Structure 1
Amino acid sequence: MARVVVALGGNALLRRGELVSASTQRDNIRCAAQALAQLMADGHQLVVTHGNGPQVGLLALMGEQAGKGAFPLDVLGAETEGMIGYVLQQELDNAYAGPAQFATLLTQVEVDPRDAAFSVPSKPVGPIYTEGDARRLADQRGWAIAPDGNAWRRVVASPRPVRILEIEVIRLLMAQAVTVICAGGGGIPVAQRSDGTYVGVEAVIDKDYASGLLAAELRADAFLMLTDVSAVFTDWGTPAQRALGDVSPQALAALDFAAGSMDPKVEAACDFVNRTGGLAGIGALADASAILTGKAGTRVSADKS
């Protein structure tokens, strides 16, 4: 039995262009749960993480529209961990035929308040806008905005994760054969004060970096990042694009990938492999089992050229 950390990309919750709604989210999570249930049926022990960008953005807008002001991002992160984790836990329980226990854990992830990311917001959250609407909202609400494909979105600080505060709790649950859903949206960002206490910070941690740290801390055998593309491609979006199959961290480090989309996945994969010697996989949600058996996706390992 392999211990596998699975990071579900945004497509597991909301596909580009879809409205953020409870029914759409559940339909997509139901499909994700079926793929995860197959991994469990194959005999693997899972720890599951997920994205939360659209949901955080929606909750922030709802707070503002209610005239009460938006909650800070750490609180919104906690809300979405519970909201998404509940549906994912329920659909996993429904999809898996064998005996199993599932638990969703609110997960605090420590960041360094001196991280340079706080002065350069880069993490997209919330819905997509036209450039005109995005600039208007930025002026009204003091947002930082940036292009996201052909659209525009709000961007916030995305510091690197330093430590997962609940790591021992996760280990205890895993020792009891519990499938743990944790570190949703990269975890709840917190910083340690000079007196040793913790406080939430206004940021969103990249899910792939946090999931990679989690996988390394758990000494996972494999770390899967499941998204809406079938593999990592060189020359993406050009006639020369080519899918990568088995590849080493050194080979990937020599290539350039899109910042904010594939680049964090590649970095997280390489870091995990270099730290643990395990296997990292990037590919489509439907190919989860095939990635582990070497039949699909991009597979990063130390012994591949």
Structure 2
Amino acid sequence: MAGGSGARQRPQVGLLALQNAAYSDVAPYPLDILVAESQGMVGYMLQQALRNALPSQEVTTLLTRVTVDPADPAFQDPCKYIGPVYTSVQAADLAAEKGWRIKQDGTGFRRVVPSPAPLAISESAAIHTLLQHDHLVICNGGGGIPVVQTGQTMAGCEAVIDKDLSAALLATQLQADALLILTDADAVYRDWGTPSQEAIGQVTVSSLAGTRFDAGSMGPKVDACCQFVRTCGGYAGIGSLQDGGRILSGQKGTLIIPG
């Protein structure tokens, strides 16, 4: 089980970054540390809830690092929104005071950070071992802790990895049968937000080619699912948290299959 870092308007990494910045007399923690902190915080809450609901099930939370390329163009063009929405005046003040990169997001402004492509999940072997021993594993939170590798040495970097693409990579490395992305929408929709919007049920990867989805919400989820299906030949589902099992059986949500 991999998760994000919270709801869009109040993400944990963004809030931790704000708390971090409030202590002006202390050197701020870099983003990789904040992602690790959010993995522990969210992972603990999920682990506690799942263990209480399933007393006989072993549940384990694992800090997870994800390797990225230090030459990824994303480092030169930050685009991942974190933290709350600001007015134009607040945004200008924060950019000047803290050196943040800020971009417009809808009618407001938010901080942006690099979002490089995930290359490898460092703890995939450990996750596989835990799964073989019947553990429910909570891992790869917030897209994973971003690290770069030089020889045998790893170092954290200032970035936030897309959680959907990272989950697809993890599923690929684990050779999973399926990838299930649960969200607050009941399915993927064509022409979302228009009078002609239409829910997509079962669909092949090839038939989605050329279809555009919102880059800030459903787009990365569809891309991640298509990437997994093309690479592994399995299937992938997107839909509501309450419909998990029925999505994979094709009864609810959107099911993406090879072809």
Measured against the shorter chain, the TM-score band is over 0.9
Shift of 1:139: 2.4
TM-score under structure 1 normalisation? 0.80
- Counterparts of 1:218 and 1:300 in 2: how far apart (Å)? 19
Q: How does 1:1-305 map to 2 (within 5 A)?
A: 6-8=1-3, 13-14=6-7, 16=9, 54-67=11-24, 68-96=26-54, 99-193=56-150, 195-303=151-259
Deviations 1:119-170 (A, max 9, x none): 1111111122233322322222111222334432211000000011111111
Quick check: 2:4–2:142 contact (8 Å CA) kept in 1?
no
- Counterparts of 1:102 and 1:110 in 2: how far apart (Å)? 25
Quick check: 2:91–2:102 contact (8 Å CA) kept in 1?
yes
- The one-letter amino acid paired with 1:85 is G
- The one-letter amino acid paired with 2:105 is D
Shift of 1:201: 0.5
- The one-letter amino acid paired with 2:130 is L
Equivalence for 1:41: none
Structure 1 consecutive aligned stretches of length 4 or more whose deviation exceeds 6 Å: none
- Counterparts of 2:89 and 2:239 in 1: how far apart (Å)? 34
- Counterparts of 2:215 and 2:152 in 1: how far apart (Å)? 34
Quick check: 1:8–1:226 contact (8 Å CA) kept in 2?
no
- The one-letter amino acid paired with 2:73 is A
Distance change in 2, residues 1:262/1:212 (3 Å): same
After TM superposition, the structure 1 stretch with the greater mean CA deviation from structure 2, 258-267 or 166-175, is 258-267
Quick check: 2:39–2:142 contact (8 Å CA) kept in 1?
yes
Match of 2:33, SS?
helix
- The one-letter amino acid paired with 1:72 is P
Quick check: 1:161–1:213 contact (8 Å CA) kept in 2?
yes
- The one-letter amino acid paired with 2:50 is L
**Structure 2 regions of 5+ residues with no counterpart?**
none
Shift of 1:9: 5.1
Distance change in 2, residues 1:150/1:226 (3 Å): farther
Quick check: 1:7–1:208 contact (8 Å CA) kept in 2?
no
Equivalence for 1:42: none
Shift of 1:293: 1.7
After TM superposition, the structure 1 stretch with the greater mean CA deviation from structure 2, 60-69 or 107-116, is 60-69
TM-score under structure 2 normalisation? 0.94
Distance change in 2, residues 1:15/1:114 (3 Å): closer
Shift of 1:213: 0.3
Shift of 1:8: 4.1
The percentage of counterpart residues that share the same residue type is 51
- Counterparts of 1:252 and 1:135 in 2: how far apart (Å)? 40
Shift of 1:240: 1.5
